[in-house]
Every structure is written in C-alpha cells, then in structure tokens.
Amino acid sequence: MPRVGVLALQGDVREHVSMLEDVGADVVTVRRAEQMDDLDGLVLPGGESTTIAYLLTTSGIRPVLERKLEEGFSVFGTCAGLILLSSEILDGRSDQWSYGALDVSVRRNGYGRQIASFESAVDVVGVGPVPGVFIRAPKIETWWGDVEVLATLDHGDGAHPVLVRQKNVWGCSFHPELTNDLRVHELFTSSL
C-alpha cells in the first residue's frame, strides 16, 4: 500500500484524499515540510496556481519538494498542480514560478475562463475513456524530451495533451478527482 501525500494548502484536497483512499493508498494531508518524509508520492491538487505557489513558499515546503523532485520523487499534478510542475508558464504573472519538473509549456486557463468549463471523455492509454472535468484548465501547448503523452483532447483547435508523464512526474489538465472514476488515480498509485 503506497503512502501518498496530498498537498493540503489550497484546492481540491478532500476530493483527492477520497479517491486515493478508495484505491487503497495510505494518505497523508501535507501542510508542513516535515510531513514530506516517508512518502512514496505526492499529489499537487487543482486550485489557484499562484496561491498554491505562495503557500508552498511560506510553509517551507517549496525547497523540500524541489530537492525531492531532483531525487526522482513521484508527483502527480492536476490542473494548478500541472502548472506548478511545468517548465514554462504562458500567460502567467511576472512573479510566477514553477518547479520545471515536466518538459511542457502550459497556458493558464488555456481552455477558457470559469464560464467556459466543460466535461469531455478523455481516452487514456492503457485505460480507455475516462471522464474529464475541465475547469479553467491549463492547456499543454508544447512538450519535448522524454514526455510521454497518455491522453489528448481536441477541443476545436487540434489535439493537445491533457495527461502526461515524464519519468516519475505526472501532469493532468483536467480534474479526475471530481468524478467517480478511480482509474487515473490507480494509474498513478500503481507506478509507485
């Protein structure tokens, strides 16, 4: 049973905790740097990316997670979490930072603002169609290196990746935690 942390500073914490418990993980809500010890992986939830980045810094978690990422730690970022893991943020604030752990460029609110939120089936490699909930979702504009594309979506402007993996780091544009389908969380936890 993997021990998985969910960053619990802001965002879809409760929903991720529930999904991870349902797939059999031992879940820790992470609010302090010392809670990062002895984890097999971490989920960076959706929320507001600049707020989460600020709270990562003020909580002291930012440098701890940076070191762990450099050591090959497994992290799954959904929506805002994907933005925080990306190498480049398009349309971000001038003071916005990211870990640079995924070789992707993401556009904040790439599928539209809150009013343009939508749901669409997403075909995940090796899993099949899963429900995708897109709320102010980041759009992966470019990707390079050894980024593996696990799912794409064509929302009228060509297919863009919506679920990617690069070694132990995963990024997802949509919110798998806002559905009843456990398979995306199972995919991550089975890799730990």
- Please say whether the structural domain 3-190 has been given the CATH code 3.40.50.970: no
Q: How far apart, in whole angstroms, are the C-alpha atoms of residue 23 and residue 21?
A: 5
155 catalytic? Reply is no
172 catalytic? Reply is no
Q: Kindly give the parts of the chain with pLDDT less than 50.
A: none
The pair of structure tokens assigned to 42 is: 């971490």
pLDDT number for residue 157: 85
Parallel, antiparallel or unpaired: strands 74-78 and 41-44: parallel
Residue 135 identity: I
160 catalytic? Reply is no
The pair of structure tokens assigned to 117 is: 């939120």
Could you say which of 79, 160, 172, 185 is catalytic?
A: 79
**Cα-based torsion angle of the residue sequence 80, 84, 87, 92 in order, rounded to the nearest 10 degrees:** 70
Question: pTM, whole model, 2 decimals?
Answer: 0.96
| DSSP tag of 35 | G
Give the residue among 118, 60, 59, 62 at the shortest CA–CA distance from 85. 62
Cα angle, residue 170 at apex, residues 164 and 87 outer, rounded to 5°: 80
Could you say which of 15, 160, 172, 177 is catalytic?
A: 177
Could you say which of 15, 160, 172, 175 is catalytic?
A: 175
pLDDT number for residue 86: 98
pLDDT digits (tens, 9 = 90+) for 76-99: 999 999 999 999 999 888 889 999
Q: How far apart, in whole angstroms, are the C-alpha atoms of residue 169 and residue 74?
A: 6
